Amino acid sequence: MRIPNIPGFDQQALEKYFKNTGWLFIGRVGSLLIKMAVSIMVANYLGKATLGVITGGVTYVYLFAAIATLGLDQFIVKELHQYPENRDQILGTSFGMKILAGLCCIPLIWLTYQIYPAKGTPYNYILIFSSMGVIQAFNVIDSYFQSQVQSKYIMQVQVAGNLVSAAIKLALICLHMPLIYFVYAYALDILLISLGYYFTYQRKGRSMFNWVYNNQLARKLLLYSWPLIISGIMVSLYMKIDQLMLQNLYSVAEAGAYSTVASLSEAWNFIPSVIVTSLFPAILNARRDDIGRYKKRIQHLYDLMVYISLPIAITITFAAPFIYKYLFRPEYAYAAPTLSVHIWSGVFVFLGAASSQYLIAEGFNTLTFVRTGFGAIVNILLNLLLIPKMGMMGAAIATLVAYASATFFILFIPKVSKQGIMMLKSLFLISLFQKIIKR
């Protein structure tokens, strides 16, 4: 299907861009379906208590992901766009920086575990998961293919890697293997993707062995990325701290059951990033050419986020009992009401993704960090208050309130408060009714 002509755009470039985004979407959906099916099988095989042990370890290491990645990914794409002739230097420097950061995370994780351990999850499991911080350095190849608008290669690697990972986990279930094998299997996931990136990159005259490290470029990249490292740490706390706190404040089994809720609820969160990536270039063009049209497009984007996230939330709310009845073991059934609450946080995730792009476009990068930090603080405080009394339902309520608070934090900032009002108009379908009345 040919994309219709849009004034102000190069048609060939537009079609190429949308085709690239489509590959990303296909890869995400394919990976999501594979992971969701296998995660349900693994949850049923292990049981909630044992699942809590393994997901606790994954969550613990995830909190250090921002340090391991150094927030470099978007800057790598930008550098490769601007200086394609320096490909080997950009990739080699970024790769070296990520390897070093991943290695530095290992003692940091050990030290943090001594201060605040994940109850019920042995440190040797966490040490195995810590290797993921080093292996993720191969993701610089992902950034390279994005810069070349060749996301079909990313899709191929992700789907193939997830299929192999799924086959391994299913084999472990069929062979009735103990927990430690699943620990290695989860750590192996990122290695499979990394190997896929490596072999894909090595084709067509490219070679990782030509990469070189440049200290001056490393300093430049770090100068740009350090605010994103701090922001990433806040995002990690904001999104994952509830699972670790539930494990420590309540029980490992409760955390295991809650992990199924979080995975089902958060599975949809890739959609807003794909939509925003697709539509925001057109919105930025409107900002340059026509401020009135720019504001309308921002409102339409908020509307679209609500039109997609609201039906998802409503559907999952009513489907939750049936999901747990027919897909999970009976011991997980009591998690259904928690899913019915947690899924509504997705509405604010969708709106937050759109408004974050607005803040970045207007140069309010600091506000993005501040509101994420505010959300993290709200989440932690509410978890401390609600988890001991309500278990996983308390964690879900804390997450919902924290996401809503972070998204609408901008209402209290005068220079961007109008964006908060625009999101409220979308959330309460006011803008939809206005469009209906005008027609």
Cα torsion angle, 154, 27, 340, 356, sign = positive
Identify whether the C-beta of residue 338 lies closer than 8 Å to the C-beta of residue 368. Answer: no
C-alpha–C-alpha distance, residues 123 and 102, integer Å? 17
DSSP H helices, 131-206, are 132-135, 140-147, 151-174, 179-201
What's the confidence (pLDDT) of residue 52? 92
Quick check: is 176 in a domain?
Answer: yes
Q: What percent of the chain has pLDDT over 90?
A: 45
412 with 282, same domain: the answer is yes
Task: State the residue for tokens 């009135």.
Answer: 292
129 with 208, same domain: the answer is yes
Closest C-alpha to 171, from 161, 158, 185: 185
* Count: domains in the chain: 2
Q: What pLDDT, in 10s, does the model give residues 298-350?
A: 888 899 899 999 999 999 999 999 999 999 999 999 999 999 999 999 999 99
Identify whether the C-beta of residue 150 lies closer than 8 Å to the C-beta of residue 20. Answer: yes
C-alpha gyration radius of the chain = 22
Q: What pLDDT, in 10s, does the model give residues 229-241?
A: 877 788 778 788 8
Quick check: is 396 in a domain?
Answer: yes
Domain boundary among 181, 201, 235: 235
423 with 346, same domain: the answer is yes
Domain span holding position 314: 250-439
Task: State the residue for tokens 């079909």.
Answer: 152
Quick check: is 29 in a domain?
Answer: yes
Say which residue, 168 or 232, is predicted with more confidence.
Answer: 168
C-alpha–C-alpha distance, residues 236 and 244, integer Å? 11
Other CB atoms within 10 Å distance of the CB of residue 279 = 17
177 with 306, same domain: the answer is no
Provide φ and ψ at 413, rounded to 5°: -110, 110
C-alpha–C-alpha distance, residues 336 and 316, integer Å? 10
Whole-structure pTM value: 0.84
C-alpha–C-alpha distance, residues 123 and 125, integer Å? 5
Quick check: is 136 in a domain?
Answer: yes
263 with 188, same domain: the answer is no
